[in-house]
A and B are shown apart, each in its own frame.
Chain A
Amino acid sequence: MKAFNTMLKTEIKLSLRGMDMVIFAICMPIAATVILGIIYGNKPAFEGAEYTFLAQSFGALSTIAIAAGGVMGLPLLVSDYRHKKILKRFKVTPVSPALILAVHVVIYMLYSVVSLVLVYITAALFFGFNMVGGLQTWIYFLGSYFLIMLSMFSIGIMVGGIAKNQKTAGIIASVLYFPMLIFSGATLPYEVMPMSLQRVADVMPLTHGIKLLKATSLGLPIDGVLFPIILIVSIAVVCIIISIRFFKWE
C-alpha cells in the first residue's frame, strides 16, 4: 500500500507537469459544455421534449475525459513506460510492474471524475442544468459511467500493451481517439448529425456508451439500454483477456 500511495502521489505530480491531460480531460469538456450552452441555452432538445438540449448532451460531454484518458492517455503512457524500460525496472524490485499500471488507471479515473464534476458544475451554474429524478438517476448514471470507463480503459491498456512501439501506439491512439471524440457524439451532438453520419457513429463503442448515459440521465425507458450494456461489457471482457494474454512488458 505504501508503494501504491507514494507512486500515486508522484505520478499525479508528473501527469500534472505534463499538462496534456489537464487540457484534454479537464479544459476541453468544460469548453465544449460552455459552447453547447451558449449555442443551445435552455432550449428543449426537440419540439415538445421535456428536457433541454444541454441535459441531453450532459452524458456525452462527461465522456470526453474518459476517451482522452482511455484511448489516448493510457496507450501512450504504457508504450512510453515500456520503451523507457520503466516497466522492466519494476521486474527487479519486490513490486510488480502491474502496480504502476494500476496507479495510472486510478489517475485517469480521477481525471474523469473531476471532469464529470466540473462539467456538472458548469452546466448547473451557468445553464440551469439539473439531473432529473434524484438519487436513483445518479446511481444508474454513475453505474453506466464507470462501465464505460472500464471498457475504454481496457481498450487503452490493450493497445498500449500490444503495440510494437510508441509510434504504433500513437497512431492507433489517434485513430481511436479523434473519430471517437468528434463522431461518437462526445463533442458534436449525435442529434444534430445527419442520418448517414449517425450510422457511422453507431459503429463506435463510445456512441453506445453515450446512448446509455443519455437514457440513464434523462430517465428514458429502460428497453433501449440492453444492447449498449452488452456491447460495452463485451468490449471490456475481450480487451482484458487480450491484455492479460498478450501484454508485452518489454
Chain B
Amino acid sequence: METIINVENLCKSYGDIRAVQNVNISVCRGEVFGLLGANGAGKSTTIECILGTRKHDSGNVSVLGLNPHIEKNRKALFEKVGVQFQEANYQDKITVWELCEVTSSLYKTPASYQALLKQFSIEDKMKSPVNELSGGQKQRLFIVLALLPNPEVVFLDELTTGLDPRARRDVWKCLSELKSKGLTILLTSHFMDEVEILCNKIIILKKGNIIFQGTVNEAIENSPHEKFEDAYLWYTDESEVAENESI
C-alpha cells in the first residue's frame, strides 16, 4: 500500500536533552496512526519535525512523497495536508465564520466549510466569536479547519484533551466516518479508549525512544495485561519499576 508518511531514524535534541531518538514511522494511505506517550515523551516534537516546523538533527522525513523541510515543497504539500495544533491559534474577537472563510481562502480547492460545520454540528455557531465556544465546540471547529484543504492526510495533536465524554464520542464518530472514507490520520492522544477505537497502528514513545510499535492487539498480547490501558501503563512504567528496584 502507498506510504503517506515516512520517517526514518529521526533524531532531535534540545541542548543535552534528547527529545526524539531514532524514531521510525510508516503510515499507509487510509490508516489511522496513534502516537502515544506521556507528556514530554517527544510526541509534539516528532509531529513538528514531520511537518517541517522544527528542524531535526538527523534522519529522513517525507509526507506524500515530499520532504517538508524543503521550502519549495511546502506550498504544494500543504494544499493536501491538514493540521490541528495543540494550542488554539486564532485572532481575538474573530468569529467562526470569519476564521473558516480566511482559512478557506488559503487553499486552491477548499472543502465547503458550511458543509463541514454542519457535519460536525456547529453550523448554528457560525456567527459566534470563537472564544465563546465551549471546549468541545472549539475542538470540533479545529478539526473542521484541519479538514478545510480537502486533505489527503491530517495531523491531530491531542484532539480530545479537555472534552467531556459526550463531546469526545462525537469527535470519535466524526473521525470514524473520515477514516471509512480513506483519509489518513496521524494523531496523538492520552486516552486509550479512543486509541483502541480509532487507531490501526500505534507507537509508544518514552523519553524520545520507541518502546512499542504495532497494533493495539499486539500491544496487549505482548504485555501481561488484558486491557489496553493497563498494557500502555505497563509499557511506559516498566523501566521505571526496574530503576526503582535497582535502587
Contact = CB atoms under 8 A, between A and B. Distances in A.
Interface of A: 2-3, 5-7, 10-11, 13-14, 17-18, 80-81, 84-86, 88-95, 250
Given A18-B93, A86-B89, A93 B98 contact: no
Contacts of A3: 105-106
A89 B93 contact: no
Given A3-B106, A86-B91, A10 B98 contact: yes
B79 interface: yes
B81 A7 contact: no
Given A10-B94, A92-B81, A93-B78, A85 B101 contact: no
Q: Secondary structure at chain A's binding surface: helix, strand, loop or mixed?
A: helix
B91 A14 contact: yes
B92 A85 contact: no
20 contacts: A3-B105, A6-B101, A6-B102, A6-B105, A7-B102, A7-B105, A14-B91, A14-B98, A17-B93, A85-B89, A86-B89, A88-B85, A88-B89, A92-B83, A93-B78, A93-B149, A94-B76, A94-B79, A94-B106, A94-B108
Interface in B30-79: 51-53, 74-76, 78-79
B107 interface: yes
A14 B130 CA distance: 13
Nearest to B87: A85
B12 to A, nearest CB: 16
A16 to B, nearest CB: 10
Given A10-B94, A18-B92, A94 B102 contact: no
A3 B106 CA distance: 5
A17 B95 CA distance: 12
Nearest to B74: A94
Nearest to B105: A6
Contacts of A10: 94, 98, 101-102
A94 B91 contact: no
Contacts of A13: 98
B14 interface: no
Contact of A93 (B52, B91, B92, B106): B106
Contacts of A11: 91
B91 A84 contact: yes
A107 to B, nearest CB: 13
A90 B75 CA distance: 11
Contacts of B79: 94
B75 A94 contact: yes
A89 to B, nearest CB: 4
Given A7-B102, A10-B101, A84-B90, A94 B85 contact: no
Contacts of A93: 78, 103, 106-107, 149
A11 B85 CA distance: 22
Contacts of B104: 6
Nearest to B71: A96
B131 to A, nearest CB: 11
Contacts of B93: 14, 17-18
Nearest to B103: A93
Contacts of A95: 106
Q: Which 5 A-B pairs have the closest CB atoms?
A: A6-B105, A85-B89, A89-B89, A92-B83, A3-B105
A10 B95 CA distance: 10
Contacts of B98: 10, 13-14
Given A10-B101, A95-B106, A89 B85 contact: yes
Nearest to A250: B53
